[in-house]
Chains A and B, each alone.
Chain A
Amino acid sequence: NAGVTQTPKFQVLKTGQSMTLQCAQDMNHEYMSWYRQDPGMGLRLIHYSVGAGITDQGEVPNGYNVSRSTTEDFPLRLLSAAPSQTSVYFCASVGGGSSYNEQFFGPGTRLTVL
């Protein structure tokens, strides 16, 4: 299993540009989430999904869109990038049953918006 994969690892955008951060997992997990981590801080929840076709907002959803057309993929779209969105973005998935309490995190995408 590759676990949770994220692409790209690094990205530089200009203000106003849009882009999609990719996230995929091969563990057949129902639950997936996106977090952002600003320098010196903990992670904050952007959006999450409890299954294909079902998404909801987290703590800091403004400026981001998500969709979940398959169990495996959960892309995060930046609609019009702003310098305030400079951050490290983590995708995570969690399984059900006895492993529901363990999140598997991807390696992160470091985004800089100029």
Chain B
Amino acid sequence: AQKITQTQPGMFVQEKEAVTLDCTYDTSDQSYGLFWYKQPSSGEMIFLIYQGSYDEQNATEGRYSLNFQKARKSANLVISASQLGDSAMYFCAMTLSMGAGNKLTFGGGTRVLVKP
């Protein structure tokens, strides 16, 4: 079975600075997808970024980028130029096979607090 580990329970970051959220995963499958979600205090789950295991380039979406290191089985999220609205819980998740986006395994999350 696959497993996702987020080792940072909480982080402070200064406004306008970049922050890296760690995520490691464990699977013996060659085909998988990696996701990051944001959960603000209001509770909704917001999709941020996706990386497929066969994608050669790191995914980017605006201020979000995914640092994908396949050999190390890591998929760290980088948020550039942090904003106060980035304060939230962030979850790393994965799915086996590219088309199984409805079966996600989540990590325990990292809480980010952006300081003005």
A-side contacts of B4, CB under 8 Å: 42
Closest residue on chain B to residue A104 by CB atoms: B47
B101 in complex: contacting residue of A59, A103, A107, CB < 8 Å: A103
Segment touching B, from A12-20, A43-51, A78-86: A43-51
- Whether a CB of chain B sits under 8 angstroms from the CB of A41 is yes
Give B85-116 interface residues, CB cut-off 8 Å to A.
91, 93, 98-99, 101-109
Closest residue on chain A to residue B50 by CB atoms: A101
> What is the predominant secondary structure among interface residues of chain A facing chain B?
strand
- Whether a CB of chain B sits under 8 angstroms from the CB of A23 is no
Q: How many A-B residue pairs have CB under 8 A?
A: 67
A94 in complex: contacting residue of B45, B91, B102, B106, CB < 8 Å: B102
- Whether a CB of chain A sits under 8 angstroms from the CB of B44 is yes
Closest residue on chain A to residue B102 by CB atoms: A31
Interface membership of chain A positions 36-64, coded 1 if the CB is closer than 8 angstroms to chain B and 0 otherwise:
00001111110011100000001100000
A33 with B102, Cβ < 8 A, contacts A42-B93, A101-B35 known: yes
> What is the predominant secondary structure among interface residues of chain B facing chain A?
loop
| B102 close to A32 (CB less than 8 A) | yes
Number of B residues, CB within 8 Å of A: 22
| B43 close to A33 (CB less than 8 A) | no
Interface membership of chain A positions 82-114, coded 1 if the CB is closer than 8 angstroms to chain B and 0 otherwise:
000000101011101000111111011000000
Measured in the bound complex, the distance between the Cα atoms of B43 and A108 in whole Å is 8
A-side contacts of B103, CB under 8 Å: 33, 45, 48, 58
A101 in complex: contacting residue of B45, B101, B105, B108, CB < 8 Å: B101
Interface residues of B (CB under 8 A from A): 4, 33, 35, 43-45, 47, 50, 52, 91, 93, 98-99, 101-109
Question: Can you name 6 A-B residue pairings with CB atoms under 8 Å?
Answer: A33-B104, A41-B109, A42-B93, A49-B102, A50-B102, A93-B102
